[in-house]
Amino acid sequence: MTHSHKTYHADYAVVGSGVAGLRAAIELSGAGSVLVLAKSNLNDSATAWAQGGIAVVLSDEDEIGLHAQDTINAGDGLCRAEAVQLLVEEGPKYITELMEWGTEFNREGTKLAFTREAAHSRSRILHANGNSTGREITRALLARAHTIPHLHLRAHAFTTELIVERGRVAGVHFLDEADGSQHEVRAGAVLLATGGLGQIYRENTNPELATGDGMAIAYEAGAVLSDMEFVQFYPTTLAVKGAPRFLLSEALRNEGGVLRNISLERFMKRYSEAQELAPRDIITRAIAMEMHRTQSPHVYLDLTKKSEEFLKKRFPRIYETCESYGLDLASDLAPVCPAAHYAIGGVKSDVWGRTSLPGLYVAGETAATGVHGANRLASNSLLEGLVFGARAGQAMSKDAPAGKRHPGAMPGSPVPLPGNSSVARKESTKGAANSSPSCAALAKIRELMSREAGVLRSGKELADVVKQLETMELPTCEKPTRAAYELRNLHALALLIARSGLAREESRGSHYRADFPYRDDEKFGKHSVVQKGKDLRFEN
């Protein structure tokens, strides 16, 4: 690797500017200097894309115990009870704090407006601006960060690897996308909050930057990863040619939307008594099986029983987006298909974000705390980023007290206000999704994973994926680019998903094996664990 041009020093380094990274950075700023590295614009993250809401017990009709039970039921026997308890108990405190920091959730009059989603036993989902909850939370967190003098954000800084010295993580290397130069940040502790890995799949709901970078660099450095076989697919994404895989929210089914196959018949009763309100994994599989059975690229979501006025008011962003692709939800059937949505597995951590590597912490979708089990309950992910981001910040400041690393000069300046054009520089290089020759290799990985390691899997297909990925040669380039690094990361993680899926010879949560269609608690009521250079194993 070429020597870094500059070395920066901070008490704490945070990689990622979504809800988990920003919340951790704000927490850490009370203990020392913080540098947040974002690989794109500061407000470009999976959080900002999160259309769903945030689940929290703040209404008089709800109880902490019910939220915990719903989470555990969805997790299909693999949730870690302690992590679930912390999520639901600490959620209200952190949501209240967000509101104090200016986050505006939807209200009915003066009261918070709660909605209900599939598999929740009460109405406990908060939304902001219709379906822009994540964007509103990001806005408030960035505005808060702006008021803190020694919290610095650097946009367009792509983290390429961890610096490990004497068995401890001591910083990161990053690539400046403006000029391709490489730098390093030395820090007392590092937090990875880089989101998920949706770009491994052809059909996915994630932003282009969801290339699993944090998971991949942690694995490369020797950290333990867990539960990689569990990739949650969103059941109903808009399947219109030329349109991105836009989520048609579960709330649409909650408001009476029904699923029909290509012959226009309702099919969910064949798969679940709860029909359209069944848990996400059941609906996803039902749609995949129906598409397979009818040899069709999609099914339909039918909302034509609802008035245009109702749909526009209740789902403004969804209605507008569909309209921009020539679909009127009040009169047209919307073609939908499943798409990769959320990585349940990730870097194994305790409930404080600590990983198996001293000095390394994780939060949000990059982490595997066990809170989601084998299948995430809808709208728990933003809450997880918030709660465990704050907890990781607390643990880092306790484990790695600030030293004499207060920065003289930091890359970038203190946090610019959201929307400030100085951070919104045009990306000089697009991600792996847009670059050749990385492009051809990426297309091959995505095609392979979508076909053989997607919603419906079997041992024969997974073994084939492992073999093909192991023998695949990635293109080499003289000067490493962000695209080349992203390709390397996606390739490594695709292999881990396939290997973990092959080892789990049962069906549970979001992992379905046609050759092992039943859950096997005796052998597999445990978490898969994988570490570089070691055999995959299962442990409690």
Active site residues: 280
> What are residue 395's phi and psi, to 5 degrees?
-65, -40
DSSP code of residue 365: G
Give the Cβ contact number of residue 441 at 10 Å: 20
Measured CA to CA, the distance from residue 82 to residue 158 in angstroms comes to 34
Measured CA to CA, the distance from residue 254 to residue 435 in angstroms comes to 40
* Cβ partners under 8 Å of residue 185, min gap 6: 7, 8, 9, 10, 13, 35, 37, 171, 172, 174, 411
Cis bond upstream, residue 437 (ω within 30): yes
* Cβ partners under 8 Å of residue 436, min gap 6: none
DSSP 452-474: HSSSSB-HHHHHHHHHHHHHPPP
The residue type at 229:
E
Cα dihedral sign, 440-441-443-448: positive
Measured CA to CA, the distance from residue 307 to residue 303 in angstroms comes to 9
Tokens of 251: 């709330």
Measured CA to CA, the distance from residue 72 to residue 277 in angstroms comes to 17
* Cβ partners under 8 Å of residue 179, min gap 6: 428
- Please choose, from the candidates 44, 276, 296, the residue with its C-alpha nearest in 3D space to the C-alpha of residue 286: 276
Measured CA to CA, the distance from residue 503 to residue 465 in angstroms comes to 13
Q: Which residues are 260's β-sheet partners?
A: 266, 300
Question: Are residues 65 and 361 in contact, defined by beta-carbon separation less than 8 angstroms?
Answer: no
* Cβ partners under 8 Å of residue 230, min gap 6: 343, 344, 345, 372, 374, 375, 509, 510, 511
